[in-house]
Amino acid sequence: MQFCFYPTLERAYGNVSHCPHLGGASIGTLVQIANHSGTTIDQLYRQLDAVRKRNSELVDDNLRLAKELQQVKLELKLERQNKFATNEQKNAEPETEVATGETPAGDASDDKQPKKKGAPLGHPGWYRPTPTHYDWAIDVKAPKRCPHCNAPVSVLPAIDPIEHLQEDILDNVSRVVCYRHHLS
């Protein structure tokens, strides 16, 4: 809303340039400030409308992403169920595939690659217990010179050597060798 002020028509009021009711300010200044305030308020309303529109777009995106996340979690659950299925479940799956005429997305029959050995992804592996005794020990000498910088290497006799146990199976007999690496 714009306020109109015509100082030539307002001359009937003697205090146009310094109104005592406005603290000595002129009426023209008051009208100019009121018009500027109206423009500022209109600008703030436009910004508020833009922010509200952006907020509604973000809410829609959030709902869409929540649905996608729910779908991905469901797919992951099905994939895990297929990966850890029992033999009975695995044997029952080909019958359902023939009935529907479709193969699951994660079917490995197309690849013809053997299944990767070891624990499934994210599961701890199974390790043989570390031997508590060894059959013989081998002292591994430190090199005379560093293979990287070719500087002379000196052994630190005050520090105990690092022991590495290696278990070998030869002719179905387990033999444990202790390798002692001296620190340098």
pLDDT at 64: 97
Residue 57 lies in a domain: yes
Residue 113 lies in a domain: no
31-38 long-range contacts (CB < 8 A, ≥24 apart) are 31/3, 31/4, 31/5, 34/3, 35/2, 35/3, 38/1, 38/2
Strand order in the sheet with 173-181: 136-140, 173-181, 162-170
* Total structural domains within the chain: 2
Enclosing domain of residue 158: 136-181
180 touches 162 (CB < 8 A): yes
pLDDT at 72: 95
CA dihedral 145, 146, 152, 153 (to 10 degrees): -100
Separation between Cα atoms, residue 133 and residue 120, nearest integer Å: 32
pTM of the model: 0.33
Residues 6+ apart with CB under 8 A from 19: 25, 26, 27, 30
Residue 70 lies in a domain: no
Residue 146 lies in a domain: yes
Q: What's the pLDDT tens digit per position in 141-157? A: 888 888 888 888 887 87
Residue 27 lies in a domain: yes
For the chain, list residues with pLDDT below 50.
Answer: 96-101, 106, 108
Residue 82 lies in a domain: no
Residue 152 lies in a domain: yes
pLDDT at 150: 86
CA dihedral 29, 32, 34, 38 (to 10 degrees): -160
Residue 24 lies in a domain: yes
Final residue in a domain of this structure, among 21, 37, 61: 61
Q: Which helix (H) or strand (E) holds 176?
A: strand 173-181
- Give residue for tokens 């290696």: 166
**Identity of residue 33:** I
pLDDT at 16: 60
pLDDT at 158: 79
Final residue in a domain of this structure, among 46, 61, 76: 61
